[in-house]
Amino acid sequence: MYKAIKKELIDQHNQSQKSNLDFDFKYLEQKLKRSGFDIHVIKEQIKKFQVAVPTWGVGTGGTRFARFPGIGEPQNIYDKIEDCAVINDLIGFTQKVSPHFPWDNVDDFKELKEFADSYGIGFDVVNSNTFQDPTDDSASFKYGSLTNSSQEARDKAIEINTQSIDNGKILNSKGLTVWVGDGGNFPGQISFSKSLERYIDSMKKIYAHLPSDWTVLLEHKPYEPAFYSTVISDWGTSYICAKELGDQAMCLVDLGHHLPNTNIEMIVSRLIDVNKLGGFHFNDSKFGDDDLDAGSINPYELFLIFNELTNASQKNKLSNIAYMIDQSHNVTDPIESLMLSANEIVNSYAKSLLVNYSQLEEAQDRHDPIRAMQILKNAFSTDVNPIVSMARFENGHSIDPISTYRTLEYKKQKAKTRKSSKGSSSGIV
Ligand SMILES: [Mn+2]
């Protein structure tokens, strides 16, 4: 840690902010005491929270139409690790990164791990990419990967996944997330039944390759890039497949992978109840899989998701959830977006710790919807920034990460050595 950003710079910046933070923290301490909460207990829980940053998230994303590169963009996985280390040095809730293969392939994974170690960065769940053609042109995924009617294409897709596991093992990762773009654009194009059967069959081969302490996370999505039907379209299908595969297979909820107005927090609760909730991809959206910054559009939904998680966790119904960010940053500096998003996620978690769940259950049992709603709204409307900022400060990071980051002019400095990428091809979907 503190290889990407000198600790003295963070300390120096914190000096000017600390007295205001102390004042705000003291005020919140008194306020929470009146509701029966000990701010110090909550702060200690927050200090332990971790969410992984996606390596693909630090590059500027694009849309189906164009990509507008930023200055000093990372050119390879090593640059991406360095950018992720900037984020972690400043906020500290993001010690691990989630790589994507083959995008992040290198010749020497041991060397990559040592490089990341030197920045205090570890590796979270790895992601496999079979939604674009394999780099060696040995097969085509145009008509599907793990569910393709061609055995040759399926085998190649399986190999990409088992290779991702092997890479992840060297990086000390403990999980693989599988999302396939497979599906159909037209009625009749694919057999719903056969494609699901082939998915399960392919996944069984990947599952057999999993080390015993690994989890495979199945990610569902209702549409895009296939626009009529997708093979793993919803949490129900994802659950059926995870159940079929075994105990090491879990479901992953990407917030953007639901149709508008879907009650995502209820899906979270259902998956907890059937012991199949394994992870999240956090982002936010207005219309579809917009991959906007977490909490930027619908922070109440994000809070309600953490409300389910914290409630279940206090009842010991939750273990080993992989929290990851999955976003595309088209118009912002990805480093700023990822710092704000991680903080927004931590804020939602902090607010959920301010819900008194026995009082909530009492209100539910007494048939008092107004009181129940009030309990949630009171927690949601509490400004938890002083606790989260204090947690960051006590963990050795920046009280005000964005302003600290801006004084560094990091990207401007990096632009001197990282060559700019001109291309206008679309970014990450
Ligand atoms: Mn995702």
Q: Do 59 and 427 touch, CB atoms closer than 8 A? A: yes
Which residues lie closer than 8 Å to 197 by C-beta, 6 or more apart?
Answer: none
CA 378–ligand 1 middle distance (angstroms): 31
Within 32-110, strands assigned E span 53-54, 96-98, 100-101
- 254 CA to centre of ligand 1 in angstroms: 5
**For residue 292, how far is its CA from the centre of ligand 1 (angstroms)?**
12
In angstroms, what is the span from residue 264 Cα to ligand 1's centroid? 14
pLDDT tens across 58-71, in order? 999 998 899 999 99
| CA 281 to ligand 1 centroid distance, Å | 5
What's the predicted TM-score (pTM) here?
A: 0.97
Residues of the chain where predicted confidence (pLDDT) is lower than 50: 424-427, 429
Question: For residue 269, which of 320, 234, 318, 220 has the smallest C-alpha distance?
Answer: 318
72 alpha carbon, distance to own chain's centre: 24
- CA of residue 21 to ligand 1 center, whole Å: 35
Task: Output the pLDDT for position 64.
Answer: 87
Report yes or no: 11 and 311 within 8 Å, Cβ to Cβ. no
For residues 86 and 412, what is the distance between their CA atoms, to the nearest angstrom? 14
User: What's the CA-to-centroid distance between 48 and ligand 1, angstroms?
Assistant: 24
- What is the Å distance from ligand 1's center to 315 Cα? 28
CA of 191 to the centre of ligand 1 (A): 25
Residue 326: partners with Cβ closer than 8 Å, 6 or more residues away: 54, 57, 254, 256, 281, 282, 283, 291
pLDDT of residue 137: 86
Rounded distance from Cα 99 to ligand 1 centre (Å):
12
pLDDT at residue 422, rounded to an integer = 60
Contacts of 35 (CB under 8 A, 6+ apart): 354, 356, 378
> What's the 294 CA to ligand 1 centre distance in angstroms?
13
Q: How far is CA 33 from CA 42, 171, 228, 276, 314, in A?
A: 12, 44, 53, 36, 20
**What is the three-class DSSP state of 379?**
helix
* Separation of CA 255 and ligand 1 centre (Å): 8
What 3-state DSSP class applies to 369? helix
Distance 17 CA to ligand 1 centre (A): 36
Backbone φ and ψ for 323, nearest 5 degrees, come out as: -95, 125
**Phi, psi angles (nearest 5°) of residue 249:** -100, 130
Beta bridge partners of 219: 252
Between the CA of 422 and the centroid of ligand 1 the distance, in Å, is 26
Cα 256 to ligand 1 centre (Å): 8
Contact 35, 379 (CB under 8 A): no
Q: At what angle do helices 264-273 and 235-245 cross, to 10 degrees?
A: 20
* 170-180: b (≥16 Cβ within 10 Å) or e: ebebbbbbbbb
Q: How many residues does the chain have?
A: 429
CA of 74 to the centre of ligand 1 (A): 21
Contact criterion met (CB below 8 Å) for 4 and 89: yes
Specify the pLDDT at position 5: 97
Sign of CA dihedral 70, 74, 75, 76: negative
Q: What per-residue confidence (pLDDT) applies to 429? A: 39
Of the candidate CATH numbers 3.20.20.150, 3.40.50.12590, 3.40.50.2020, 2.40.30.10, the domain formed by 49-348 belongs to 3.20.20.150
54 C-alpha vs ligand 1 centroid, how far in Å? 10
CB atoms under 10 Å from CB of 371, counted, come to 14
Q: Output the CA angle 311-315-320, nearest 5 degrees.
A: 85
C-alpha to C-alpha distance for 335 and 357, rounded to whole angstroms: 35
Give distance in angstroms: CA of 207 to centre of ligand 1: 20
C-alpha 124 – ligand 1 centre gap (Å): 14
CA of 181 to the centre of ligand 1 (A): 11
Cα–ligand 1 centroid distance for 321 (angstroms): 15
Tokens of 163: 């290779």
Q: Which amino acid appears at position 347 of this protein?
A: N
Question: What pLDDT shows up at residue 426?
Answer: 47
The pair phi, psi for residue 139, each rounded to 5°, is: -155, 165
